Structure 1
């Protein structure tokens, strides 16, 4: 199999008639979600559950097996075996890269240098750490069954000799205005995946680019729109549509799939965000009535930011003295607002959870 030769951008053979209706639906759904997002008083807190979920699901597409709960329990001090710890570290790296991307894109354009920075974070101290973190590949790679030879590959990315030329053309396309911003986002993501510039981690970086590019095109007021829940739920079609580009030049089919994904995910994200905001208001009232504490607002923010925690952790994040936090937590446990994941034993602190927030995400899983 010969290395894939990426098509020149913009794509000239898109069937605009086929995409017209689905593009309109995607733009309307994303606009409704963005309007909701702009009304959020504290998006960092409100969207923290979605950020954690995105890090888990985008990594799950690549084979990790950890859950949101396991990641948060690990951060709170729960001990897992080495394989699980490796999965969790990959997810934590992805979350860190997401946060850096969010901060960076407000001040700098999407450039190859940013992509390399994000990849270096993604692959730090994990199983791909020997695969040149932050560096574009200098050798030929291929995709196929584990252990297969290049002759047995299902896809062979471009030759490393032409890689930089393809990446620079892709970077130039980022600065252009194509027929529709969401259609252009679909093309940006797919072209990056087909170029496959890194030895590992291409899928996660490519999915991370989606909210960044939508933000750069002013389709989002905040680059916090995550698509991995839909892509994980439709993983087979996701990969099949990408293969159809390289095998049949079916860019229209890919773009139509991506637009449907944006429509469905924007609606789901909006539903989740509304439910989280409603739970936040109810919880603020409950905590204030239970504790009668001037620290109740900080405590609720800390619960929503990280709903599995130790007392010391929440004292630090809420900036409340530890003795006070212990009293507040006891009150909330007595009233059933918090649950215990792991009881205290000796010097080992108890791990607690605000389960209702995690249950909200599980009830809203995309099908």
Structure 2
């Protein structure tokens, strides 16, 4: 009997799947992906201030993850909005910034509070991303359609059914298992997207959970492995993989897709971090020629956290009074490291080289 895409998938099987997940091909790819992740973890530790990665790099994930759901903003608007805490930003830019906030809250939950990934966390992420006060879907009628309006999937419906499936997912994520964590990541991501628990924002919440899971499993220290770019570049394979599991239980193809996404993204992210580190090292020599050497590391930590830097960021970092911090930033402009750009009543000091490294 063929799968009926128009009927709510209340029969979505519980986890773990009753098929062999760790096939020979999967285990081979697990080794490659774990090696790439370990290398990325080591590279990330080269940065003295990992806040650079959590915030500035994380904004790119927020932007690209939102684009998958047709919420589009520009890099310029995004980093300017980041500098202004969203004030004056258009609605789509604000929504991307909410994603960044959700990612940060999730990181705090896992890293500092050492809390497990639970439905309560899922609800919190959804509420921050969507700025909503509701949670798990209660009303029927949700369906996923293609651009032509044809139904491609109808998720489970009924709050009780959805919560039961989320409870099963919680247990799968948090209870001991002999499955490799990266294989579990692939299964977790499929199941969350198949449950589709919220009225909106499920894709974004699911992609944040990917990152948090890697941190909870100690495969990364900070939230820097963002799969959204890979998903956009291989969107057809992504959706075929999801539907292949749903309709034909093609788990191996799906798990391999996710493992390749982890491998590819880890390598690209490592290259990006090394490029940022090289930029910062080159900037240090120039900065030391125009600034007090003792202040250079702290000033560059701020400048390489905010591509659109403002005087108040240096003040907040305890680097001096407003006139002193202004003098520091203008000295970096004179050294060719920053570009000053007045916008209305605000002066931005733009780190073009850092900006380009982030968005390329």
Paired residues, number: 348
Per the TM alignment, residue 261 of structure 1 is displaced from its structure 2 partner at its CA by 0.4
Match of 2:103 among 91, 98, 103: 98
Residue aligning to 1:175: 174
User: Post-superposition shift, 1:80?
Assistant: 10
Residues 73-115 of structure 1 deviation map (CA, whole Å, 9 limit, x = unaligned): 134459999xx71111111111011111111112211111111
CA distance in 1, matches of 2:319, 2:64: 31
Shift in Å, 1:318: 5.4
- Corresponding position of 1:288: 288
Gaps of 5+ in 2: 1-5
Cα 1:223–1:271 change in 2 (3 A) is same
Q: 1:359 is matched with which residue?
A: 356
SS of match in other structure, 1:343: strand
Instruction: Determine the C-alpha separation between the residues in 1 that align with 2:313 and 2:90.
Output: 20
SS of 1:157's equivalent in the other structure is coil
Q: How does 1:204-353 map to 2 (within 5 A)?
A: 204-292=204-292, 294-317=294-317, 319-340=319-340, 342-343=341-342, 348-353=345-350
2:151 equivalent to 1:153: yes
In the superposition, the TM-score normalised over structure 2's length comes to 0.89
Q: Deviations over 1:271-296 (max 9, x none)?
A: 11111122222222321212236432
Cα separation, 1, equivalents of 2:46 and 2:335: 31
Runs of 4+ displaced beyond 6 Å: 78-81
Change (3 A) 1:78 1:28: closer
The correspondence for 1:41, drawn from 21, 44, 48, is: 48
RMSD of aligned alpha carbons: 2.3
| In 1: Cα distance, 2:36 partner to 2:343 partner | 46
Q: Distance in 2 between matches of 1:147 and 1:164?
A: 31
Alignment correspondent of 1:85: 90
Please give the per-residue CA displacement for 1:19-77, whole angstroms capped at 9, x wherever unaligned.
12211111111111122234433211344332111111111111111133211213445
User: Does structure 1 retain, via aligned residues, the 8 Å contact 2:311–2:325?
Assistant: yes
Structure 1 unaligned residues grouped into runs of 5+: none
Give the conservation status (yes or no) of the 8 Å contact 1:97–1:118.
yes
Maintained 8 Å contact 2:81/2:94: no
User: Following the alignment from structure 1 to structure 2, what is the Cα–Cα distance between the partners of residues 261 and 77?
Assistant: 33
Q: Report the 3-state secondary structure (helix = DSSP H, G, I; strand = E; otherwise coil) of the residue aligned with 1:291.
A: coil
> TM-score, structure 1 length as denominator?
0.88
Cα distance in 1, alignment partners of residues 347 and 182 from structure 2 = 46
